[in-house]
Amino acid sequence: MPQNGPDKNTIYPLAGYDRLCFLKNIITNPNILVGDYTYYDDFEDVHNFEKNVKYHFDFTGDKLIIGKFCMIASDVKFIMNGANHLTDALSTYPFAIFGSGWEKAMEGRQYPYKGDMVIGNDVWIGYNSTLMAGITVGDGAIIAANSTVTKDVEPYSVIGGNPAKLIRKRFDDDKIAKLLELKWWDWDIKKITANVNNLAGNDITSLG
C-alpha cells in the first residue's frame, strides 16, 4: 500500500524521538488553533509549548492561530494581549488589577487590544524568537533565531533582529504571487506526496 507521509494525527512523527511533535495533537487550550503537520521541537519537553504562549488569559479572548506545515523551534515565545499596558497614560502601571481602592483607575479606559496573532502556512520560526501580540506572519516567511517580531511579516520574507527587520525576500515578486495562488499546503495529501521532491526544489513550474 503506497504511503502518503506521516500520520497527521500522531504526536511524535519521528520514531524513538519525543522532542518533536505534530503540535495540534498536544494542544489543550481552545484559543490555540494549529494546522496539520505543523511541528514543534523542544530541547526538553514538547509540552512546554503552551507555557511559552504568555499572558494568554481567557477573559482577553484572543487567539493564537498557526497554519499548516509550520516549523517552530525550541524556546519560541508568543506574547499575547494580556501583556499590554496603557502607553498613552501618565503611568503604565496597572493600578486597577490590585483593587484596594485602585479598582476605578480603568473606568472609561481599556487596555490596548491588538487582535489575534496569526501565523501563516509553511512558516519557519527560529530558536528563541519572540512574537508580539496581534501580528500576522505571512505564508512562507522565515524568522531568524533570537528575533523579536513586533510588526506584520510579509509572505516569503526573511526577517531577523530586535526589533526584527526585513533581511531579504526569498523569491521575486512573481514567484511569490504564484506560490500564494497555488497554496500547496491546502492540496490533498496524495498530491503533496507526489510533489515532495518538487517542493524541496526551486522550480515552481514542476509543481502540479
**How does pLDDT run across 109-152, given as a tens digit for each residue?**
888 899 999 999 999 999 999 999 999 999 999 999 999 999 99
Q: Is residue 105 part of a domain?
A: no
pTM to 2 decimals? 0.94
Q: Which of 85, 109, 178, 190 is catalytic?
A: 85
* Residue-range definition of the domain harbouring residue 138: 20-85+114-170
Residue 1 clears pLDDT 70, i.e. is over it: no
Q: Is residue 25 part of a domain?
A: yes
Mean pLDDT across the stretch 38-63?
95
Residues 65 and 161 in one domain: yes
Residues 58 and 139 in one domain: yes
Number of independent structural domains in the chain: 2
Residue 47 among the catalytic residues? no
- For residue 177, what is the DSSP state? H
Question: What is the domain-level CATH number for residue 132?
Answer: 2.160.10.10
Q: Identity (one letter) of the amino acid at 138?
A: G
Residues 144 and 206 in one domain: no
| pLDDT at residue 208, rounded to an integer | 81
Sheet arrangement for strand 32-34: 32-34, 64-66, 117-119, 136-137
How many angstroms separate the CA atoms of 198 and 36, rounded? Answer: 20
Q: Is residue 45 part of a domain?
A: yes
Q: What is the pLDDT of residues 152-199, one digit of tens each?
A: 999 999 999 999 999 999 999 999 999 999 999 999 999 999 999 999
How many angstroms separate the CA atoms of 198 and 164, rounded? Answer: 31
Residues 148 and 187 in one domain: no
